[in-house]
Chains A and B, each alone.
Chain A
Amino acid sequence: MKKLIGASVMAIAASTAFATSAGAQTLIFCSEGSPENFSPALSTAGTTFTASSTPIYNRLAQFDRGTTSVIPGLAESWDVSDDGLTYTFNLREGVPFHSTGYFTPSRDFNADDVMFSFERQLDTEHPFHNISGGTYTYFNGMGMGDLIESIDRVDDYTVRFNLTQPVSPFLSNLAMDFASIYSAEYAEQMMDAGTPEQLDLQPIGTGPWVFQAYQRDAVIRYLRNNDYWGGPAGVENLIYSITPDPQVRYQKLLAGECHIMAYPNPADLEQMEANEDVNVMTQEGLNVGYLAFNTEREPFDNRDVREALAMAVDRQAILDAVFQGAGQIATNPIPPTMWSWNGEVVDHEYDPDAARALLAEAGYPDGFSTDIWAMPVQRPYNPNARRMAELIQEDWAQIGVDAEIISYEWGEYLQRSRDGEHDTVLLGWTGDNGDPDNFLNDLLGCAAAEVGNNRARWCHEPFESLIQEARTISNQDERTPLYEQAQAVFKEEVPWLTVAHSVVFVPMRSEVEGYIIDPLGSFGFYEVTLAE
């Protein structure tokens, strides 16, 4: 038996040696979960996007890596008509689709692929519309179905989108994962073979990495696309090692079993930063955690009451206890990394005495009873809603407001708060396309109040007219002052207590060079190289 163990240890020692010599060309990413499929149009999960749209696919317009600005992708350029209703895209020529064991393209990317990718989602009669149970949650969620009146294939390399109304975030929407461009030729082949769902499971794209294999819940393998139109990626092989437990991911990073890891445990960060072999990159997250006051209900229909409650909360204490340093106090509903963020807005200072006085002035000298809804799940914008609710409860008790903490199962929580059953509710939002409209209109606009995504149920004319005007202008410089003004109105009216923006941490081994954090939450490895 002893001999046997000895032999195995030696075999392992040999295989590890092999690993380090061949490892220079292989980048391993310890991811946190399994993708639902490899089809970004079908999904809403960041894990799926990190495994599909980021490595495998391209979009007409793309986010410049590391930012939220939109740059040309598969479309080399575009023209917007003066009325903002027509977008004409000039497509890039000579872009090959991936060649793999299961598909060999006979032609380069062209307008047919654009038509296919959008019509699948738009047209309920399209042969692929119902394949893989297509729900197209993002396409519909971003209102694309109502926004796109028609799409014209002008010629092989020109496509025109006709809109029902001028909506300036449209371009940013096209850079989102769900708008990835699929191969129409591959789809047709799979349909003919009677296996159309393969389109969503064995992906073919134009991106920097070619899909090689997926072992469910274990490993995803990619090979470098040497014909990539943007130039080949930095390393030859890319492997995602799926590891659900954050502590185990960290152990793998330390042991050299992966180079980069997703979502570290905040409690481990201090140790990571002290470790020479590990670098931790950090960036403000494109998100906001907030407490919304139900402005349709008494006494929250009174602006002074809302301000008093906001002033009574010690957000620094929340940041320390709930975010453990991985966050920053939110002043505005949009995070500071987003364009048009207004740095001149003056936030409420934590001041229980002033809060008590203001509450008395508003007609509630003895306070009142209310509730705080706390989410049952962990989110980047709120790692522990229960604890946050308890801290707010204590703060409010200081000014005589007696709050009961309420929670439901996640689905029910979302539904009930959408129906407005709460007095105050903790929730948050992660940006989809980097456009301020995606926060200000989707969460605080009048239409959102009707649908329920506006949890404050706040429909305020001065704010609404500003954001609706900004929505129809396509020039960013003209939009910016409108959004800045809207943020000032927001702070004046206090529909939310803006709690925090989270900070994103990405730990990686010291030999990793060139990694760029994606503010939109995906992990991409195109630029990464490994030092010897």
Chain B
Amino acid sequence: MLSFVLRRLGVVIPTFFGVTILAFALIHMIPGDPIVVMAGERGMSDERHAELAAQLGIDRPLIEQYLAYIGNVLTGNLGESFVSRTPVLTEFLELFPATLELSISAMLIAVVLGLPAGIIAAINRGKWPDHTLMGAALTGYSMPIFWWALILILVFSGYLGWTPVTNRISLLYFFEPVTGFMLIDSLLSGQPGAFWSAVHHLILPATALATIPMAVIARMTRSSMLEVLSDDYIRTARAKGLSPRRVIGIHALRNALIPVITVIGLQVGALFAGAILTETIFAWPGIGKWLVESISRRDYPVVQGGILLVATTVILVNLTVDILYGVVDPRIRRRG
């Protein structure tokens, strides 16, 4: 087991360096000078420009900039935003809990609804529940998330008036963030109604973000379930006279879940990508808007640091899934 974990870790380190190089190269390949963008139509004298470039350290050769950057990263320093002059890590830690809260809620919705949908579709293969559910899943999977988010707002907030349009909690509640997770902070605040207000504000964005992973999980569960259901041991279980509920719930599901867990792990990356769009529409104060804006402002430290931190999170989640997977299924451990 230990050697399996070590082998996995061995892959993580080069991936991490690969990400730093990619993040650095991509943002520097986009044309555009952060200082010129900052000055806008008004412009700036050449001397002033040179002075600022030196101050920001972007006048040095790229290789030198990269080495300095990597040196700082290894000592835990991600630099300061060109725009706000706040440490990148501080900004990230302030914003990331909102993204996490949204992503975790979305993932919960996706699993809680996607799994049963997949199972129901599998045991009714070819019948109307299968067609309906898989049709819905395909629709959900194909919908552009920003469009879907706007439709949800128009229908549920605008037309029906059931949900608030944006914000994480009603603006009437005001308390200093403790954990950054609004559901927890609202409980800690002890203000009556705060928690429900937070839940209420979370429902719509989480649903919008859950749609694609939900569809993927439903489809994966269905196909994995179908594969297992045709295995010999299921036939044996049925022949033994076990109730269908027991056959499906215990024998089939457990084995069918293994590939589903992997898919859930892989969806984490997709979830962050979706969160960026969802956050922009719902004005959700997570890392999405922060990253997008930093690109248009050519705020190099934020782009590089932000991508690195998000990638690290995804790598860690996948590592955990890999290891869990090895725990669940000994065959994987041996194959490595």
Please choose the segment from B9-17, B152-160, B243-251, B264-272 that sits at the chain A interface, where 4 or more of its residues have CB less than 8 A away.
Answer: B152-160
Indicate if the CB atoms of A135 and B40 lie closer than 8 Å.
no
Distance between Cα atoms of A418 and B49 in the complex (Å):
14
Distance between Cα atoms of A251 and B157 in the complex (Å):
8
- Given the known A-B contacts A15-B193, A241-B167, are A44 and B40 also in contact in the complex, defined by CB atoms under 8 Å? yes
Please encode chain B, from 159 to 195, with 1 for each CB lying within 8 Å of some chain A CB and 0 for all others. 0011011111011101011000000000000000100
Q: Tell me the nearest residue of chain B to A142, going by C-beta.
A: B42
Indicate if the CB atoms of B164 and A257 lie closer than 8 Å.
yes
CB-CB < 8 A to A217: which residues of B? 95, 283, 285-286, 289-290
- Given the known A-B contacts A133-B85, A217-B285, are A18 and B164 also in contact in the complex, defined by CB atoms under 8 Å? no
Asked whether A475 is an interface residue with its Cβ less than 8 Å from the other chain, the reply is no
Asked whether B5 is an interface residue with its Cβ less than 8 Å from the other chain, the reply is no
Indicate if the CB atoms of B31 and A15 lie closer than 8 Å.
no
CB-CB < 8 A to A369: which residues of B? none
- Given the known A-B contacts A36-B84, A255-B161, A409-B32, are A248 and B281 also in contact in the complex, defined by CB atoms under 8 Å? yes
Indicate if the CB atoms of A244 and B171 lie closer than 8 Å.
no
Picked from B38, B42, B95, the residue with its CB within 8 Å of the CB of A216 is: B95
Distance between Cα atoms of A22 and B197 in the complex (Å):
16
Indicate if the CB atoms of B171 and A414 lie closer than 8 Å.
no
Q: Tell me the nearest residue of chain A to B150, going by C-beta.
A: A247
Please choose the segment from A6-14, A89-97, A298-306, A460-468 that sits at the chain B interface, where 4 or more of its residues have CB less than 8 A away.
Answer: A6-14
Asked whether A267 is an interface residue with its Cβ less than 8 Å from the other chain, the reply is no
Please encode chain A, from 130 to 145, with 1 for each CB lying within 8 Å of some chain B CB and 0 for all others. 0011010100110000
Q: Tell me the nearest residue of chain B to A200, going by C-beta.
A: B85
How many of chain B's residues have a CB under 8 angstroms from any CB in A?
60
Distance between Cα atoms of A137 and B37 in the complex (Å):
12
Indicate if the CB atoms of A251 and B154 lie closer than 8 Å.
yes
CB distance from A222 to the nearest CB of B (A): 12
Please encode chain B, from 250 to 291, with 1 for each CB lying within 8 Å of some chain A CB and 0 for all others. 000000000000000000000000000000111101100110
CB-CB < 8 A to B80: which residues of A? 133
CB distance from B130 to the nearest CB of A (A): 24
Asked whether A213 is an interface residue with its Cβ less than 8 Å from the other chain, the reply is yes
Picked from B40, B166, B174, B293, the residue with its CB within 8 Å of the CB of A257 is: B166
Distance between Cα atoms of A216 and B197 in the complex (Å):
20
CB distance from B102 to the nearest CB of A (A): 13
Distance between Cα atoms of A243 and B205 in the complex (Å):
14
Indicate if the CB atoms of B197 and A15 lie closer than 8 Å.
yes
- Given the known A-B contacts A257-B166, A428-B41, are A248 and B172 also in contact in the complex, defined by CB atoms under 8 Å? no
Indicate if the CB atoms of B174 and A213 lie closer than 8 Å.
yes
Indicate if the CB atoms of B84 and A37 lie closer than 8 Å.
yes
Indicate if the CB atoms of A137 and B38 lie closer than 8 Å.
yes
Distance between Cα atoms of A242 and B286 in the complex (Å):
12
Distance between Cα atoms of A410 and B86 in the complex (Å):
25
CB distance from A137 to the nearest CB of B (A): 6
Distance between Cα atoms of A132 and B85 in the complex (Å):
6
Indicate if the CB atoms of A451 and B43 lie closer than 8 Å.
yes
Indicate if the CB atoms of B153 and A248 lie closer than 8 Å.
yes
Asked whether A221 is an interface residue with its Cβ less than 8 Å from the other chain, the reply is yes
Asked whether B200 is an interface residue with its Cβ less than 8 Å from the other chain, the reply is yes
- Given the known A-B contacts A248-B283, A414-B43, are A216 and B170 also in contact in the complex, defined by CB atoms under 8 Å? no
Distance between Cα atoms of A137 and B82 in the complex (Å):
14
CB-CB < 8 A to B44: which residues of A? 137, 140-141
Asked whether A349 is an interface residue with its Cβ less than 8 Å from the other chain, the reply is no
Please encode chain A, from 141 to 174, with 1 for each CB lying within 8 Å of some chain B CB and 0 for all others. 1000000000000000000000000000000000
Distance between Cα atoms of A249 and B37 in the complex (Å):
27
CB distance from A202 to the nearest CB of B (A): 13
Distance between Cα atoms of A324 and B5 in the complex (Å):
61
CB-CB < 8 A to B52: which residues of A? 135
B279-324, CB < 8 A from A: 280-283, 285-286, 289-290, 293, 298
CB-CB < 8 A to B158: which residues of A? 251, 254-255
Please encode chain A, from 383 to 413, with 1 for each CB lying within 8 Å of some chain B CB and 0 for all others. 0000000000000000000000000111110
CB-CB < 8 A to B167: which residues of A? 218-219, 241, 257
Picked from B161, B171, B281, the residue with its CB within 8 Å of the CB of A219 is: B171
CB distance from B207 to the nearest CB of A (A): 13
CB-CB < 8 A to A244: which residues of B? 280, 283, 289
CB-CB < 8 A to B3: which residues of A? none
CB-CB < 8 A to A15: which residues of B? 170, 172, 193, 196-197
Indicate if the CB atoms of A44 and B200 lie closer than 8 Å.
no
Picked from B38, B43, B85, B282, the residue with its CB within 8 Å of the CB of A248 is: B282
Indicate if the CB atoms of B196 and A216 lie closer than 8 Å.
no
Indicate if the CB atoms of A409 and B30 lie closer than 8 Å.
yes
CB-CB < 8 A to B37: which residues of A? 410-411, 414
CB-CB < 8 A to B230: which residues of A? none
CB-CB < 8 A to A418: which residues of B? 43
Picked from B36, B153, B196, the residue with its CB within 8 Å of the CB of A414 is: B36
Q: Tell me the nearest residue of chain B to A452, going by C-beta.
A: B43
Q: Tell me the nearest residue of chain A to B172, going by C-beta.
A: A19
Distance between Cα atoms of A9 and B82 in the complex (Å):
44
Indicate if the CB atoms of B31 and A409 lie closer than 8 Å.
yes
CB-CB < 8 A to B48: which residues of A? 140
Indicate if the CB atoms of B172 and A451 lie closer than 8 Å.
no
CB distance from B189 to the nearest CB of A (A): 14
Distance between Cα atoms of A137 and B85 in the complex (Å):
15
Distance between Cα atoms of A7 and B197 in the complex (Å):
12
CB distance from A279 to the nearest CB of B (A): 19
Indicate if the CB atoms of A414 and B40 lie closer than 8 Å.
yes
Q: Tell me the nearest residue of chain B to A9, going by C-beta.
A: B162
Indicate if the CB atoms of B85 and A245 lie closer than 8 Å.
no
Asked whether A429 is an interface residue with its Cβ less than 8 Å from the other chain, the reply is yes
CB-CB < 8 A to A37: which residues of B? 84-85
Distance between Cα atoms of A221 and B153 in the complex (Å):
25
CB-CB < 8 A to B193: which residues of A? 11, 14-15, 18
Q: Tell me the nearest residue of chain A to B161, going by C-beta.
A: A255
CB-CB < 8 A to A219: which residues of B? 167, 171
Distance between Cα atoms of A26 and B171 in the complex (Å):
10
A199-234, CB < 8 A from B: 201, 213, 215-219, 221
Indicate if the CB atoms of A451 and B45 lie closer than 8 Å.
yes
Asked whether A110 is an interface residue with its Cβ less than 8 Å from the other chain, the reply is no
CB distance from A425 to the nearest CB of B (A): 12
Asked whether B83 is an interface residue with its Cβ less than 8 Å from the other chain, the reply is yes
CB-CB < 8 A to A8: which residues of B? 196, 199-200
Asked whether A260 is an interface residue with its Cβ less than 8 Å from the other chain, the reply is no
Indicate if the CB atoms of A252 and B166 lie closer than 8 Å.
yes
Asked whether B33 is an interface residue with its Cβ less than 8 Å from the other chain, the reply is yes
List 21 interface pairs A-B (beta carbons < 8 Å), by A numbering: A7-B196, A11-B193, A12-B197, A15-B170, A19-B170, A19-B172, A44-B39, A137-B38, A140-B44, A141-B39, A201-B86, A215-B177, A217-B285, A243-B283, A248-B166, A252-B166, A257-B171, A408-B31, A411-B32, A411-B37, A428-B41
The 7 A-B residue pairs with the shortest CB-CB distance, nearest first, are A218-B285, A11-B196, A217-B285, A411-B36, A411-B32, A243-B283, A411-B37
Given A221-B174, A245-B281, 16 other A-B residues pairs in contact with their CB atoms under 8 A: A8-B199, A9-B162, A18-B172, A22-B172, A44-B40, A216-B95, A216-B285, A219-B167, A248-B165, A248-B283, A252-B165, A408-B31, A411-B36, A412-B31, A414-B40, A430-B41
